[in-house]
A and B are shown apart, each in its own frame.
Chain A
Amino acid sequence: MEKPVYNTDIVRSFVHWSLLWGLVAILVGVIVSLQMVEPDLNFPPYLTFGRLRPIHTNAGIYGWGVGVIFATFIYMVQRLCKTPLWSNKLAKFQLWFFNATIIASAITLLLGYTTSKEYHEMEWPIDVMVVILWVVFAVNILMTILKRQEEQMYISLWYMMAALVGVAILYLVNAAALPVSLFKSYSAYAGTNDANVHWWFGHNAVAMALTAPPLAMFYYFLPKTTGVPIYSHRLSIIAFWSLIFMYLWTGAHHLLWTPVPDWVQTLAMAFSVMLIAPSWGSVFNGYLSMNGQWHQMKENYLVKFLIIGLTFYGLQTLQGPMQAIRSFSAFIHYTDWVPAHIHMGTMGWVSMISYASIYYLVPRIYGRELYSVPLANMHFWLTLVGQLVWSISLWVAGVLQAGMWNATNSDGSLTYTFMETMVEMYPYWWARAAGGFIFFLGIIIFIYNLFMTVRKGKDVVAPIVTAAGRN
């Protein structure tokens, strides 16, 4: 059979741009972490904490997270379907429209045009752009799957398809708004309803953008790297159905003890705990795929990123359900514990898997060997240490803070004023900034290594070049 000619140029472009937005997200992350300890680093009106924090989160999720999704999905779908991308023109449009959307988001957020809804801050004209972007992407991927030359559908394709539909439904429903002008709108829902709809969106954005796609990548890049198949495809299928079914019930675990109806909270709590099963289904599947291959943990930097990334996912999906229990939520909700949870997911799981995917892609789409493996190892350690310093310092901070907020004297009065609790946070916030800086050094080395690979890397032998499909 004639080898199909895969579209590799577009994968390259998405890799480049997602790296740029990832760098921006992390840099702004370091900046906001410093603003929290040194308020004089605010420069109103544009560069204040209140305006920069959403830029950090959205650049992280949509620029970095979704950018890598675009790159890897387009790469994976062609190979898993043994067929070229359905439309190269559409993909090209998608690339430029993606960048236009990210830039428009950054500018409007700096100018203060925001809905205030977390991870959905962009005003309605940008929502329209996001919808167009996603439709174009989804159509291209789905059409490629429909005209595939390989009958089998590997589990990564399943997760990809679920993510395509999931994000579309979530985003559209939560975007409903009454526009006042081009840059101002009011939510279509009010008060408690708005909160419930929003966190249904918020939590499942985590599911459909930060869980399903990295799982698709993990299931693809781990076997490709180690050369042995995953432990059980059927286990991955059972985990798939349970995961996408159960996630959607859990949004209200962000709203425990609030005026949202109690039964909604209770359902969210129960389903969050049950989510441990499908999450750990994937984790076990990953670990068991390493049977007989554990020596690669030492030898292969790619395996390190993938397996430690998966480990963070495993920890994340144990910690998450714990936070979803009413009594625990009463304690840690609103504290610095929660950012520690978030960043174990985003820096540990999402970023590590994204790094691994890009390390796998770049040599193949450029037909070059990686410039330096020692640098890649160094990147691994900086990422791991940076993330651990970040999260551990804030877990400690969160518990301390929660303890102080809840402390009472013998006469029933509060032991600490708000400020007495807040000043205790400063040392931990400094440590977090330091952890972030270490992580930031990691991505700088990563980008340097990739740059040198493209500029100076040795050409690799034939098989990988064909994989790159350049002509």
Chain B
Amino acid sequence: MWEKKPLLLIALATAAILVGTTITMVLPFAWVNTETDRIASVTPYTPLQQEGRDIYIREGCNNCHTQTIRPLVTEVLRYGDYSKSGEFVYDRPFLWGSKRTGPDLARIGGKYPDAWHYKHMDSPRSMVPKSNMYDYAWLRKSTLDPVMSERKMKVLGFPYTQEQLAQLKGKNELDAVVAYLQKLGSDIAWRKAAEVTIVGELKNPYPDTAHRSMEEWEVIYSEHCAACHGGHLEGEIGPHLDGANYTDEELFSLIFNGIPDGGMPAFSSLGTNKVWKITNFVKYYVQGEDHP
């Protein structure tokens, strides 16, 4: 039969290849990105956000960061609500990635205030000393091109206004990246839904040990809070903290749930024990007395 007929062999091989192709690659178009997937609150990117996305692609951020959260317990705890198909309908190309050298960014939008991102992008290691993400401060030096941006929006078929294009003038590439990051995953209101309620009475497990374990607690504080509130609670991106202003319970709840609209992240994923340690550190820290 085909053993001595190359053209027949090629035709049959092509047919063999096309069966799986048709079923697993062509057929799914009938289900994916159709009305059933659609999520009303998901909107296309604005010119500024799309520019940021293109810079994200240009710099290959996807080589270290994924953008899809799987419906697995620990993954949802760490990164937020799992990803839905309808959230990606405006993504050309998709940016799910394949390797998490850095954390997933699918729901980074709204996790931090803009100021945090600027500081982090300028020099990640100034905030997270052991990070292997390199500085992107140099993105500040390049400006955006409204003409090109308009062409992109037309090709993508996204709505835009002349005002939005005009606003691109005077913005730099880093502004665009931050705008893009803040949009990621925030089209659906998942943060409110994810808020963990603490059951039972709050009870400080470390009363009166205030000054003994401060060293240990400080380490935890430095890792999670210092980037925004400063090494001595003096405030930077977040406000100056003074433990005297709160009761134990107030402070604990503040840290545990964060202030989602104010740029203060929730720390419930650290667990109650660590949050209590931080609470006590903030509560009893007196500058100049405990630690030089």
Least CB distance from B89 to A in Å reads: 5
B70 touches A50 (CB 8 A): no
Q: Which residue of A lies closest to B96 (CB)?
A: A195
Binds A, one of B2-10, B246-254, B279-287: B2-10
- One of B13-21, B162-170, B176-184, B229-237 at the interface: B13-21
Q: Mark A253-297, 1 if CB is under 8 A from B, else 0.
A: 011011111001001100100000000000000000000000000
Closest to A52 in B: B60
In the complex, are the beta carbons of B223 and A248 less than 8 A apart? Answer: no
Let me know if B159 is at the binding interface, CB within 8 A. no
Q: How far is the CA of A250 from the CA of B24 in the complex (A)?
A: 8
Enumerate chain B residues within 8 angstroms of A418, measured Cβ to Cβ.
Answer: 78, 102-103
B60 touches A338 (CB 8 A): no
B131 interface residue per 8 A CB criterion: yes
With contacts A36-B101, A180-B152 taken as known, whether A249 is within 8 angstroms of B20 at the C-beta atoms is yes
Q: Chain A nearest CB: distance from B72 CB in Å?
A: 6
Question: Closest residue of chain A to B103, judged by CB?
Answer: A418
Q: Which one of B27-35, B107-115, B185-193, B206-214 contacts A?
A: B27-35
The answer to whether A112 and B24 have CB atoms under 8 Å apart is no
CB atoms of B10 and A161 under 8 A apart: yes
Min Cβ gap A111→B in Å is: 9
Instruction: Indicate whether A419 reaches chain B with its CB closer than 8 angstroms.
Output: yes
Partner of A39, one of B13, B37, B133: B133
Main secondary structure of the interface of B (DSSP, over half): helix
> If the complex has contacts A259-B68, A261-B31, are A414 and B93 also in contact, measured as CB distance less than 8 A?
no
Q: Chain B: which residue is nearest A246 at the CB level?
A: B20
B74 touches A414 (CB 8 A): yes
Q: Is the CB of A49 within 8 A of B17?
A: no
Do B59 and A50 touch (CB < 8 A)? Answer: yes
- Given known A114-B57, A248-B20, contact A258–B68 (CB-CB < 8 A): yes
Contacts of A260 in B (CB 8 A): 28, 32, 85
A403-432 interface code vs B (CB 8 A; 1 in, 0 out): 001111101111101110011001000000
- Candidates B21, B64, B268; contact of A169 at CB < 8 Å: B21
Closest to B62 in A: A116
- B66 CB contacts on chain A under 8 angstroms: 334
Q: In the complex the two chains form, is A49's CB within 8 Å of B63's CB?
A: yes
> Chain B residue with minimal CB distance to A53?
B63
**Segment touching B, from A14-22, A124-132, A146-154, A306-314:** A146-154
| B126 on the A face (CB < 8 A) | no
A471 within 8 A of partner (CB): no
A417 contacts B270, C-beta separation under 8 Å? yes
Contacting pair B54 A184 (CB below 8 A)? yes
| A95 partner residues in chain B, CB cutoff 8 A | none
A186-B93, A413-B268 known; A145 vs B6 contact (CB < 8 Å): yes
Indicate whether B91 reaches chain A with its CB closer than 8 angstroms. yes
**Interface size in chain B (residues, C-beta < 8 A):** 86
Shortest A416–chain B CB gap in Å is 9
Asked if B291 lies at the interface with its beta carbon under 8 angstroms from chain A, I say: no
B60 and A50 contacting across the interface, CB-CB below 8 Å: yes
- By a CB distance below 8 angstroms, the chain B residues around A173 are 25
Q: Is the CB of B93 within 8 A of A116?
A: yes
- What is the predominant secondary structure among interface residues of chain A facing chain B? helix
B273 touches A409 (CB 8 A): yes
A191 and B20 contact, Cβ closer than 8 Å, known pairs A50-B59, A413-B272:
no
Q: Are A180 and B155 in contact (CB under 8 A)?
A: yes
A:162-207 near B, CB below 8 Å: 162, 165-166, 169, 173, 178-181, 184, 186-198, 200
Whether B77 sits at the interface, judged by CB under 8 Å, is: yes
A91 located at the interface, meaning its Cβ lies under 8 Å from any Cβ of chain B in the complex: no
Decide if B130 is an interface residue (CB 8 Å cutoff): yes
Question: Taking A186-B155, A251-B25, A408-B74 as contacts, is the C-beta distance between A116 and B95 under 8 angstroms?
Answer: yes
Residue B203, interface by CB 8 Å: no
Bound Cα distance A408, B62 (Å): 27
Chain B, Cβ-Cβ closest to A408: B74
A406 with B98: CB separation less than 8 A: no
- Whether B136 sits at the interface, judged by CB under 8 Å, is yes
Report yes or no: A193 in contact with B93, Cβ–Cβ below 8 A: no
CB closest residue in chain B, given A268: B24
Query: In the complex, which residues of chain B have a beta carbon less than 8 angstroms from the beta carbon of A166?
Result: 17
In whole Å, how far is A432's beta carbon from the nearest beta carbon of chain B?
13
Give the distance to chain A from B237, nearest Cβ to Cβ, in Å.
18
Interface centre among A146, A158, A195, by most chain B C-beta atoms within 10 angstroms, is A195
Q: Which residue of A lies closest to B5 (CB)?
A: A153
| Distance in angstroms between the alpha carbons of A250 and B73 in the assembled complex | 26
Are B63 and A50 interface neighbours, CB within 8 A? Answer: yes
Instruction: Verify A405–B74 contact, CB threshold 8 A.
Output: yes
Q: How far is the CB of B63 from chain A (nearest CB, A)?
A: 5
- Do A51 and B155 have beta carbons less than 8 Å apart? no
A161 touches B272 (CB 8 A): no
**A 43-69 contacts with B by CB, 8 A:** 44-45, 48-51, 53-54
Cβ of A193 and Cβ of B78 under 8 Å apart?
no
Contacts of B25 in A (CB 8 A): 173, 196-197, 200, 248, 251
User: Does A330 reach chain B (CB closer than 8 Å)?
Assistant: yes
- Within 8 Å of chain A (Cβ to Cβ): is B271? yes
Q: Shortest Cβ distance from A403 into chain B, in angstroms? A: 11
* Bound-complex Cα distance A25 to B132 (A): 22
Contact among B13, B57, B83, B87 with A116 in the assembled complex (CB-CB below 8 Å): B57
Which of B23, B62, B72 is close to A249, meaning CB atoms less than 8 Å apart?
B23
Chain B residues whose C-beta falls within 8 Å of the C-beta of A254 in the assembled complex: 98
- The minimal Cβ–Cβ distance linking A193 to chain B, given in whole angstroms, is 5
Set of chain A residues within 8 Å of B32, measured between Cβ atoms: 191-193, 196, 260-261
B90 contacts across to A, CB distance below 8 A: 190-191
Q: How far is the CB of A378 from chain B (nearest CB, A)?
A: 33
Partner of A49, one of B57, B64, B84, B100: B64
Question: CB < 8 Å: which of A151, A200, A247, A259 contacts B83?
Answer: A259
Identify the 10 closest CB pairs spanning chains A and B, nearest first. A50-B60, A191-B88, A413-B271, A248-B20, A259-B85, A257-B70, A249-B20, A42-B134, A112-B58, A187-B93
- Interface positions of B (Cβ within 8 A of A): 3-4, 6-7, 9-10, 13-14, 16-21, 23-25, 28-29, 31-33, 37, 54, 57-64, 66, 68, 70-75, 77-78, 83-85, 87-103, 125, 128, 130-136, 138, 148, 151-152, 155-156, 223-224, 268-274
19 contacts between A and B (CB under 8 A): A36-B132, A115-B57, A151-B4, A153-B6, A165-B13, A169-B21, A178-B155, A179-B155, A180-B151, A188-B92, A193-B32, A198-B93, A248-B19, A250-B20, A259-B68, A267-B23, A414-B78, A419-B128, A422-B132
